[in-house]
Structure 1
Amino acid sequence: MYPLVKLAGGFTSLISRDTNTSGTIGQLVLREELQLLIEESENAGKVNKKEGTAIRKLIDMRDQRVNEAMRPRTEIVGVEVSSSVEEVIDIFIESGFSKIPVYEENLDNIKGFVLAYDLFKQPETISAIVRDILNVPETKRSVEMLNDFLRERISIAVVIDEFGGTAGIVTAEDLIEEVFGEIKDEYDVEENVCRKTTDNEYLIGGNVEIDSINEKFDLGIPEGDYNTVGGFIMSETGRIPAQGEILTAGVFKIHIIRSTSRRIEMIKLSLLDESQING
């Protein structure tokens, strides 16, 4: 993946130039140059077809703003700077995140962020391991933000609204998912997994279709205005459950193995016995 990310860095620089080129004709010419460069790179074997598709998607998203890709304020998992180390460890475990914003009093005053890795240093206080965080306007272009992440080797920023408050946070992972999401789905076969792990337990990717699951295991998952098991869970709960959450839906016990703010990626599903259903 590194060569592709490195190449993407070069393209984000060119695309940033594209957005600053005066005149529609100038933008169209540069866009054609970029498309030609992709084709030449594919023909020369420097990138494969899937990588070329991702870079074309990067070009197509040149007008997207970071507020379209950010995790909104209401979904931010943060910690107060005065929190104990033990409290922060618990939040890392519950959220499954590798980095968490640190604020003072409220989310409009984010002071920085902490990495889960830094907790291995056994700090006495959280403030001892707080790292600086970048503040960016919500109107910043996503391609420019991705270019900043790649160039500065940082991976998280606070998105500021027009009134100076925190609109959300954006991470390198969020933007890379926007660009390479389709390729990740093709490579990451685990997301399409659907297998029985014990007599009464199933590991299922969030994108696996209900029809496929029922046909394979005869589980009787009800049909509705959804196609996938992730859609079934969101229909039952009215939300995207957090990673690590355990819930029930009808006769099923569901453990959310992996999820993001946008989708359910992996679950463990088991059938409840009669006593659990009636109890």
Structure 2
Amino acid sequence: VYEGVPDNVIGTLYAKDLLSCDLADPKTTLRGLLRPAYYAPTTQPINVLLREFQRQKVHMAVVIDEFGGMAGIVTLEDIIEEIVGEIEDEYDRPTSLIKRISNDEAIATGDTSVHDLNRTMDIDLPEDEGVTINGLIQHRLETMAKTGDQVEVGPVTFIVERATDREIASVRVLVDRTPAEAEEPVERG
């Protein structure tokens, strides 16, 4: 929890403390529920931080940069995932997905990054028009995408297969790999 600006961390609020307190009691304050924050520098190795988490009996640290500002937070789960790999739980959203059907066709989620699509399909879509397929298509349409919308970006055709009011859930990606015809040279005489 911070006060005023994110660099001014005043403590950590544990869900179990909040859920077990008497909110009807007028003496209950947010500040009274806070525990001291644990701080770690950006340079601290994760094995040292893991031992500190065990010793201090904490599951989260506020990471401080060289200027004393907050660089972010790191949790026990973050450290464990660095050691053993990604741990998916009930709170993790499914990662973006590209299901390759053939060399020239795929089905992807709208939140798939253009970079990942470029790499997977061996294409070169612009990454400055949208970080995700959703963003690229909306940029080209200049409106929210709807099911059935079709957008061409160079040799790639996107067909929106499923969309909500806010995002593309599924899009078909078709790549035309036929070489573009070279223009006939103009003879001058």
TM-score, length of structure 2 as denominator length: 0.43
TM-score, length of structure 1 as denominator length: 0.31
- Larger Rg belongs to: 2
